[in-house]
Amino acid sequence: MGPLTTPKKGREVGSVDPWTPTSNLKMLISAASPDIRNREKELCMDNGGREGLESIQETENGEESEKMVSRKEKSLGLLCHKFLARYPDYPDPSRNNDICLDDVATELNVERRRIYDIMNVLESLHMVSRSAKNRYSWHGRTKLAQTLAILKQVGEEHRYSQQMQQIRQRLLDKEFDFDGEEKENDEALDLEGGDQGQKELFFIELPGVEFKAASVNSRKDKSLRVMSQKFVMLFLVSNPRVVSLDVAAKILIGEDQVADQDKNKFKTKVRRLYDIANVLRSLKLIEKVHVTEERGRKPAFEWVGPEEFPQIKDLESSTSQEKKSILTPSASVDNCAKNLFSSPRDKRSFTRHPSLIKLAKSIQDDRRKINSAPNSPVRSDSSDIPNKMAQLAAICKIKLDQESVTSDPKLVAAEPKAAAVRPETTSSSSMEPPQALLLTPTQVPGVNTTVNPNSHTPLTAQPAGSVAYIPAQCSPLIPILLPHQQGSGPYAVYLQPSSLRRNPLARPQPTSLAVRSMTFEDKTGQSPTGQTASMSQLAARESDISPLALKRQRLDSASESSPSKAQRTKSNLKDTSPKLCEILQARLKARRGGHLSSRPSPRALHLDPEFVNTPTGAVASQTLEQSLETLLGREEKAVNSDSEAGLTPVRAVPLTPGQFHAETLVPAGYLIPISQQSITSYKETQSSGGESSKVSTPTYNIYQTPTAGSRPAPVQEITPTSLRLHRPASSASPRTTQHAHQLHSPSPAILNFTLQNLGLISGPSPGSAFAAPQTPEHANVLSSPLALPQRGMVFIKPVSPVPVQQSVSPQPVTLISVQQPLMTTPKGTGFQHSFFHTPVPLSPLTAVVTTGGQPAAKTVYIPQRKLDVATEDS
């Protein structure tokens, strides 16, 4: 058998001997991590030989010793360990670390099929990339931190944490409810689940890594890779970094939604998750644990990998053009095309057409072709691309997450133009240190400060090149968006066509580059970071409420096909789409021209206090305070009422509808340029109402949901800590750390906003302003609550003592809330928000618009649930 060809079944292999090398590795591995499956057996085994026996006593091994081998010896996890042992975590880049599939399969003595399983997962983390036909390039963990940072961001943008909560809630409800009801609930819920989230499947690529293999890989990224990324995202967005299998499976199923939720599908998904989990386990990124809910224990996995990643920067400046180009396919496309995206020049860009779906497919195909071009096997480097891409990026942001955060730190400076913020480092404490993100200004390019030194984990430090993100979302509200590129390279998110189906319309696929870079979200708004956008949250809530409605909207918007309802939303979009690019550009220019500075700030004010905090700085600070006060007051009210039953009340405050225009709505998947109008409106809005803004503010908080109730809590500490306590030793958690402070840091949302603002603003008051002293505090407060809430799972005991009442509260601490909101219906008018980001560079965001209106506030109760996490293992 030639090495090249696939070894057909390799039976012969058996005959081959086990190669010693492996054996040794095995042993080492075992020793190192006993827990891992095989424990004893393996140990025992080695002795002479082979296997065999292990568990089994004797059977002789004789002939078929192979058979004897216990199933465990053949597990994917063990195989992965063997595989990993062959390569260094941090390979010398200069060297070409190539992996020949056939060789590996032969050496490891396994079927090729199994190698694919491993490679797919590793590829999703960018630890390897396909370079050519039977070849992969080994990157080890050099890109891991960057990848995780991106995945986290994307996960936040997709509101995964919220989705998880919803699902959990749903599951809970089911238990209680009768069947009949379930259905109804499910429907609604499903939507959320289905809709919201994910629907989109995409595969996220790193700059350096892009599709390398052009050739072979088709774009079909199917499940395993994408599923693996999503699965990882789940961990990164959840607060207690614990994800139960069933919840993960449900989220991953996502798209199909509803109907058939067959059990089969679920089972299959679970099987796949186990496959992925086994690989992740061998990478030491997750560990198996069990969560105990009221109903019993369920299998789950806990993230034990690195917690924070720094990210990076971007630069913006240069690129405005580039950015634009991105938007507009035409120009840049060519250039870029080869590299990252192919650009399709094509096709209409964003516009959505009725036939979008089909197009998407075709597009992808095209893309594929392009990419692959000739299959050239190896990619050369990507240097080119990255550079370009780098420019694109404009801002960065980072999010901090709940946990991470530092209290102190904070700071951020805004960059003038770019709006970048840089964190100053965070001080992070141990845990989560760095969150920050930042953004670095272009100006300081060299510095990436970003990264922080501390990351506890061994990630690598981020390599310098960090990535720049776009602020992600900056826009809070909107869904879309995305990512952007980073400095070095951007990463692209691809959608999968397949996913389209149901919501296909909704998500447009990206036709153009621009799109690609973005993520879309859609639907509901997802705002990623939770809090970030109040609007988005609102939106989200709405969606929850009436998921269906949302869907429709989406669909409509996306496709024309559905005419009816959607109009509101859609109309704008459609119109715009064609011209979007132009508009955007124009807009950008305009902004640049001068508005920049002004604009952003207003927005910021308007939006949220939190935001204010940040960067904007000076202006903001005052505002902020006011806002906070306001909020608190409001919240207090709210809080009080509900606390009793354990429910956490959440109040939603509606934004004023009027402000936003329909126009603004954007459909989710697309990029939409904002219309000028909207912009205008925006201004008006701002000006018009300061008040309104305030109002909105509250909203945010509320929505923050995850936090739910909390708000300002001073709090502290939060749950996480508690959890940890429970758990025995968590190895992972470094976190134990001290306290509270660290835990929370500023909410991501805040950051996001800030960033956005900054970006928008551009200028003038740069960073300096930004850092108001106070900020940090506020931020912390806010954040903390957030942290708690996060998801529902965990729960900790109530610690009760919460200090603050009201708003702040304690409650939050206690639980998690699940959000499920119920909000009422959507409002007619406003509807959701829309937002979008442009990928564009310029300022980070271009525009944003939002709408949202909600009329009145509502209260939402959230049931608490508690869980325990035990590490179990094995």
Partner DNA sequence: CGTTCCCGCCATTCC
Partner DNA sequence: GGAATGGCGGGAACG
Applying CB under 7 A, which residues contact DNA? 4-6, 9, 37, 55, 70-72, 74-77, 101, 110-114, 116, 119-120, 130, 133-134, 215-218, 220-225, 245, 264-265, 267-268, 270-272, 274-275, 277-278, 288, 298-299, 368, 372, 375
Closer CB to DNA, 223 or 391, in the complex = 223
Provide, rounded to whole angstroms, the least separation between the CB of residue 787 and DNA: 28
DSSP result, 25-56: HHHHHHHH-TTSTTHHHHHHHTTTS----SSS
What length is written for the chain? 874
Provide, rounded to whole angstroms, the least separation between the CB of residue 271 and DNA: 4
Closer CB to DNA, 264 or 564, in the complex = 264
DSSP H or E stretch at residue 185: helix 179-190
Closer CB to DNA, 372 or 747, in the complex = 372
Tokens encoding 178? 């009768």
Closer CB to DNA, 217 or 585, in the complex = 217
Closer CB to DNA, 200 or 221, in the complex = 221
- Angle 195-352-511 from CA coordinates, rounded to 5°: 90
Provide, rounded to whole angstroms, the least separation between the CB of residue 514 and DNA: 24
Closer CB to DNA, 99 or 584, in the complex = 99
Provide, rounded to whole angstroms, the least separation between the CB of residue 729 and DNA: 21
Give φ, ψ of 309 to 5 degrees: -140, 150
Provide, rounded to whole angstroms, the least separation between the CB of residue 22 and DNA: 15
3 state SS of 132? strand
Provide, rounded to whole angstroms, the least separation between the CB of residue 11 and DNA: 9
Provide, rounded to whole angstroms, the least separation between the CB of residue 109 and DNA: 10
Closer CB to DNA, 215 or 817, in the complex = 215
Residue 183, amino acid = K
Closer CB to DNA, 220 or 348, in the complex = 220
Provide, rounded to whole angstroms, the least separation between the CB of residue 741 and DNA: 36
DSSP H or E stretch at residue 682: helix 676-688
Closer CB to DNA, 72 or 338, in the complex = 72
780 contacts 744 by C-beta, under 8 angstroms = yes
- CA–CA separation, 825 and 190 (whole Å): 17
- CA–CA separation, 611 and 346 (whole Å): 38
Q: How far is CA 725 from CA 430, 580, 729, in A?
A: 16, 52, 8
- CA–CA separation, 618 and 615 (whole Å): 8
Half-sphere exposure of 116 (CA within 13 A, CB side): 12
Closer CB to DNA, 294 or 629, in the complex = 294
- CA–CA separation, 729 and 268 (whole Å): 33
DSSP letter at 810 equals H
- Angle 569-694-641 from CA coordinates, rounded to 5°: 100
Closer CB to DNA, 80 or 581, in the complex = 80
Provide, rounded to whole angstroms, the least separation between the CB of residue 185 and DNA: 22
- CA–CA separation, 873 and 271 (whole Å): 18
Provide, rounded to whole angstroms, the least separation between the CB of residue 298 and DNA: 7
For tokens 């696929």, the residue is 509
List, in sequence order, every residue forming a beta bridge with 423; answer none if it has no partner: 412
- CA–CA separation, 736 and 727 (whole Å): 11
453 contacts 432 by C-beta, under 8 angstroms = no
User: Which residues, at least 6 apart from 340, have a Cβ–Cβ distance to it below 8 Å?
Assistant: 205, 207, 210, 211, 385, 389, 489, 490, 492, 513, 516
Residue 516, amino acid = R
Provide, rounded to whole angstroms, the least separation between the CB of residue 278 and DNA: 5
Closer CB to DNA, 272 or 570, in the complex = 272
Question: Which residue in 403, 518, 515 sits closest to 469, CA to CA?
Answer: 518
Provide, rounded to whole angstroms, the least separation between the CB of residue 202 and DNA: 13
